[in-house]
Structure 1
Amino acid sequence: MRTSIYKSISDPKEFKQQLLFWSQQFREIIYLDSNDYPQNYSSYDCVLAVDAFTSIKTDYHNAFEDLKQYQQITKDWLFGYLSYDLKNDIEQLQSKNFDGLGFPDLYFFQPKKLFLLKGNQLEIKYLNICDDEVEEDFENIVESRKSKVETEATIEIQQRILKENYLEKVSRILEHIHQGDIYEANFCMEFFAENAIIDPIEKFIKLNEISQPPFAVFFKNNNHFLLSATPERYLKKEGELIISQPIKGTAKRFSDPIEDENSRVDLALDPKERAENIMITDLVRNDLSRTAQKGSVEVQELCGIYSFLQVHQMISTVTSKLDVQYSAVDVLKTTFPMGSMTGAPKISAMKIIEKLEETKRGLYSGAVGYFAPNGDFDFNVVIRSILYNQEKKYVSFSVGSAITSQSIPEKEYEECLLKAKAMREVLS
């Protein structure tokens, strides 16, 4: 049983930071922040889950079935992630590229302590804990300040695939497209640093401040950290309603208002960017139809333009109504990995990018989120994110772009550098 206690918060923005600072004492943390970004399908402004009562950690073998059993047995709030390499549980695929991070393929935990903030209303939901402990924790939270850490060493960021090699690999993808093997492929490359010592919370706060995305995440599982400023929702379930919001299409922001507006308009009209988005929207429609009530799949918005602090993005919204014969985890399994991070057709694209990429994606281009006790869920897409293995002292971030028949390799490379800008700035 969970005890619920409600509080009114006078300064929600300050309280969110206090929650984050207070959480650092725990081994397991998931902190989700919408940054007050205006959106149609937001349940909470901020969520914090800490301190595992139970958890599940596994590789890709039978992972979705294990998650389904865990979710159905606990019937409680669960927080965690699905790594990209769970593709190997769904299809006859492999992940044999270099992995410097060593994160498990799937990890979820049932938190003892949970905080849900909407506006200035805070709901505190503790598991089998007395009210006195809630009040004591609340007092400690509002007094929380950032703890001082030792000065960090300079980080030397390296690029896994150098420019000349990148251009050659994109040309090979274009050959596959012209041969009719695929229509589109999301090709990614890693930036990394070895022997890196960073303060994860400081880096997350900087990354979140310069990006202010709707699906920011601070995740910690002992020595594994995710610091994410992702603007993309993968999938949300509200009752029978399923919502997917794939991003395809990126343009620069400019300080000059006229130049910035021109960039936004150019993105909206760009035939290459629209083709990218429409192909993936069609793939998402097909994926959702596998668990949908007949005739319920709808495109609510096609190629909408949304502006974030770092970039303009083209986003479509696709919805469906879930057929009662399918579970919450079934929806995830039949749509994973998200089309925006693979390409189309999905399986062919995944095989090709696996051969050409040089790093195992792991949690990058996977999903982080939560299940509510009633089976509703909300998951983001892990992009614009820093991953850190504190024990190995290995820091990594990856970026990618969608390669279509209209792609020019040099421009795709420039798009990757644009997407890498925020993470590089935070780590430098």
Structure 2
Amino acid sequence: MSYVACEPDLVVTRRVDDAAPFEALRNPAFAGGGVVGLMSYDAGARPATGERGGDWPDLMLARYPALLAFDHQTKEVRAVGRGRTEAQAREQAHRAAAWLALARAPTTPSAPASAFEGETAGDVYEAAVADVVARIAAGELFQANIARAWSGRLAAGRDPFDVFLRLSVARGAAYGGFWRLGDRAIVSNSPELFLTFDEESGRIEARPIKGTRPRDSDPARDAALAAELAASSKDRAENLMIVDLMRNDLARAALSGSVQVEGLFKLERHPTVHHLVSTVSAEAAAGFGPAEVLEATFPPGSITGAPKHQAMKVIAAHERPRGPWCGSLFGWGLAGDRNLTASVLIRTAAFEQDDTGWRWRAQAGAGIVADSDPHAERLETGAKIQALREALAG
């Protein structure tokens, strides 16, 4: 499903000095659905790291009374309206349906940024990876996801939506999206599901990604890279560690004995990379709604490490606050149902507007394990950021 919405009738933000951010999700005003939210990585990492910094709110929530829901399997679109009365809801649905008459075929804009500059040199990242490998050898942890960052500004008069259009034309991802709220915007090309939660059935499902190889323009070489990933004991072990972590996280919100691993190491092909993806499911315990499920499992295990709290401490030693990156963009009850779908905000650029235009920041990370090679891990981050690099700077 894909969704289009604008003009929220209720917006709530929670910053680092506010009360626990997850409490806002329990606001009765959001119980009727139509909610889009963004939880920053740092909101979930703070109990482990103690960090209070960062420019982004912990949580941003917006409720949309009118939206369009596109079903890609049935090729249908549904106008959804919400209101205090049936008449108000119907009016909002008509308003959403009218947007279809305004639709036009998108054109691909030129690259909106002139440069794509790393915030630190490549050898600094390799030194961070080497430090994590040494910590693993010393028994401090088993795995940690360590990231590099790039930042810059869009050209005068350019907009983050230009970046989203450039990504979507040829490289749209299953959990990608564009969301702007005030002077902040997110452009995500994420292929990764954090979790889904169906309130009616109680089913929770997570699909963590671990294991990556770049795509290649030569079909034979591309197939060889895919086969290499599928057979890699290192990547399978890395994936399995995160599957075990996600089993533990889901168990905090699940009926005893209901957590299951439904699939391991499925090879998925994306425009710039191959990935290994596994599936973990559970049945929610009584009293667990979307807020409780998110709070029990956040931040996503695939972008922290194992053990989770220690990995977040190690990440904080090498990175500044992540902000939205590796947090989650989620929709709650968008199609008139009781479903929560939350992505992992990888392959994502965060934008902030000031008096002179838009500045942006993007990150890419790699899961570091005992036998990680620092240079190879740096090359992996380059492959992961490639689609965003091209969308921003050509």
Structure 2 length normalisation: TM-score?
0.89
What is the alpha-carbon distance in structure 2 between the residues aligned to residue 317 and residue 82 of structure 1? Answer: 22
Cα 1:346–1:71, aligned 2, differ >3 Å: closer, same or farther? farther
Deviation at 1:199, TM superposition (A): 2.4
What is the alpha-carbon distance in structure 1 between the residues aligned to residue 249 and residue 128 of structure 2? Answer: 28
**1:207 correspondence with 2:160:** no
SS at match of 1:260: helix
Aligned partner of 1:16 in structure 2 is none
RMSD: 2.4
What is the alpha-carbon distance in structure 1 between the residues aligned to residue 111 and residue 272 of structure 2? Answer: 26
Aligned partner of 1:380 in structure 2 is 343
Deviation at 1:152, TM superposition (A): 7.5
Deviation at 1:64, TM superposition (A): 4.1
Contact 1:192/1:396 (CA < 8 Å) preserved in 2? yes
Deviates more, 1:131-140 or 1:412-421: 131-140
What is the aligned counterpart of 2:56 among 103, 119, 140? 103
- State the number of aligned residues: 379
SS at match of 1:390: strand
**1:114 correspondence with 2:114:** no
**1:123 correspondence with 2:83:** no
SS at match of 1:300: strand
* Aligned counterparts, 1:224-373, within 5 A: 224-238=184-198, 239-357=201-319, 359-372=320-333
Cα 1:350–1:228, aligned 2, differ >3 Å: closer, same or farther? same
Contact 1:64/1:329 (CA < 8 Å) preserved in 2? no
Deviation at 1:272, TM superposition (A): 1.1
Structure 2: runs of 5 or more not aligned: none
Q: Aligned partner of 1:367: which letter?
A: S
* Aligned counterparts, 1:154-233, within 5 A: 154-194=113-153, 196-197=155-156, 198-233=158-193
What is the alpha-carbon distance in structure 2 between the residues aligned to residue 148 and residue 251 of structure 1? Answer: 31
What is the alpha-carbon distance in structure 2 between the residues aligned to residue 294 and residue 356 of structure 1? Answer: 37
Q: Which segments of structure 1 move beyond 4 Å, counting only runs of 4 or more?
A: 130-137, 146-154
Structure 1 length normalisation: TM-score?
0.82
What is the alpha-carbon distance in structure 2 between the residues aligned to residue 406 and residue 255 of structure 1? Answer: 28
Aligned partner of 1:33 in structure 2 is none
**C-alpha deviations, 1:258-280, integer Å up to 9, x for none?**
22111111101111111110000
Aligned partner of 2:352 in structure 1 is 389
Contact 1:235/1:378 (CA < 8 Å) preserved in 2? yes
SS at match of 2:56: coil
Identity level (%):
26
Structure 1: runs of 5 or more not aligned: 1-43
Deviation at 1:374, TM superposition (A): 6.2
Aligned partner of 2:50 in structure 1 is 94
Q: Aligned partner of 1:50: which letter?
A: C
Deviation at 1:168, TM superposition (A): 1.2
**C-alpha deviations, 1:296-315, integer Å up to 9, x for none?**
11100011101111111100
What is the alpha-carbon distance in structure 1 between the residues aligned to residue 301 and residue 389 of structure 2? Answer: 26
Aligned partner of 1:19 in structure 2 is none
Aligned partner of 2:6 in structure 1 is 50
Contact 2:48/2:312 (CA < 8 Å) preserved in 1? no
